[in-house]
Structure 1
Amino acid sequence: GPATPEPVTTEPVTTEPVTTEPVTTEPVTTEPESIEPVTTEPVSTETDIIYNLCKEFFMKCTSLKEDESSKRYKGFVEIDTNNFVVVFNCTDLEINTENHDTANVILDEITNKKVIETPIAEFVTKFFEEHEYMKYVTDENNYPIPTPSCLYMVDIIDGNKENVIKSQNIMSILDIQVEHPIFGNIYLFSSKPLEINTQIGRYSVFTNKSLYMMNRDFELDENLREYKHDFDDFSVVCFFEEGVKYYAVYTQTVFMEI
């Protein structure tokens, strides 16, 4: 017959719980590191360096104190290693160029690259060629102000036209008017020196609203005398006489000595 299997008995297995030692962690305290304070000395920027190089000269020319001088400093443009163009706001300032190897000039002279017959340094003229925005001055509404021309006042002495020598007395300048057969009582200016003389006066004249007489021999045209009243509508009339370009100026408000 079939074999009868023996019953298998299993003893219950008991397991003792494993006891683990409790782990205690001590709080770790860290002392903050002692940080030395960092002090930095003020470092002069390139702008400060350039300003400091120029301020003494500017203060001598303007008689301004240093605090006012610094307010008028607008910056500089580097031309090359040795040359900089430094900009100050000189509005309403009287610049003293005596005892300094300097001269006041206007843009018209810079464009023509000379003061009378003295050449202006090439790097200066080049600067204005490359930085067009520096050629223009604007009013309070940001509209461009016309650029004046450099002209030379003329007096007529014994029938001869002569350029006026520069003057220290503005009232004496305003007295120099001439009587012209067509234009009447005027301030007369030539576009170029009538003779080479570094002592002649240079004048900044606003000619943007001039009447231009293009006939170089108009003084021989008697018909012009019939239209003298038309000149009253203009403050400046440009004309030619004996091959020289002149400006007849009717008012003192459009010119001043440079």
Structure 2
Amino acid sequence: MEQTYCREPNNELIPTHIGCRMCSLRPVMYGDVGWLKLLIGEGKVAEYLLRNSSFADVMAEENDAGEAVNMAIITAEGEPAGFVSALPVIDRSPAMPRWMLEFAVAERFERRGFATEAVGALSDYLLGRFALPKVVADVCDANTGALDVVRKCGFARPESRLAYMNYRHVRQGMRYHWYRMQPGRRALYFAKGLQYYRSRRFVDAAQMWYEALAYPRCEGTPYCDSLILANIGMAYSSAGWYVQARSFLERAAVMAEDSGYIELELMWIARQTGM
């Protein structure tokens, strides 16, 4: 899947300080290159981090250029314990902008909560400050420490069929893109779709509702999959795209508790088209 880099962040929006309970985050600076190279080259970090030590050379430069958010993890005593980094990317198909997160702490600071606090704090900042709706951490199953961190920070693992293997790091085994998303995005896209539908922009409405399906349904909201699929079908029917309309309506009818109105629309399409 082809990826390109987004340009949303700029150096005015990169935080100068993020406070945590046991540590703090500050932007990586040029003077940090030395200890970052040592960190990236040691033990488990060298084994599991996808990028090599040259990453340390560009982190401060990326911050200055506003191309990424690279933060140093600093203990309460002022010692650098590690880093957490977020790079904005977008998949060409489907178009899903997101943050790709990487993090590491020195071995002597492991199992002390620094990585968990840093990943949680930066993820909260990114989802609250920028429009990119998703933070993704690429973690292999063998990296049990990183798995503990992303679980504690509320990341979800995608379904098993989405596991993959990085051909440059085959010995690490299967990997998953663990993710966190902004809450309520499904409702937002549903509302935008409704605006398009009322403006008789039926295809735009269908596409917006299709986007809504990519986001989880928040508890207590009415935006279930069957409702959205039915709306997509109705929109395509209104646009005269009857083949697409029938496909989505049939899927909705199987899932819906009350499919009467869906069946009526399918009957109308059948009369109009002879399908």
Q: TM-score, normalised by structure 2?
A: 0.28
Q: TM-score, normalised by structure 1?
A: 0.29
User: Whose helix proportion is higher, 1 or 2?
Assistant: 2
User: Which structure is larger by alpha-carbon Rg, 1 or 2?
Assistant: 1
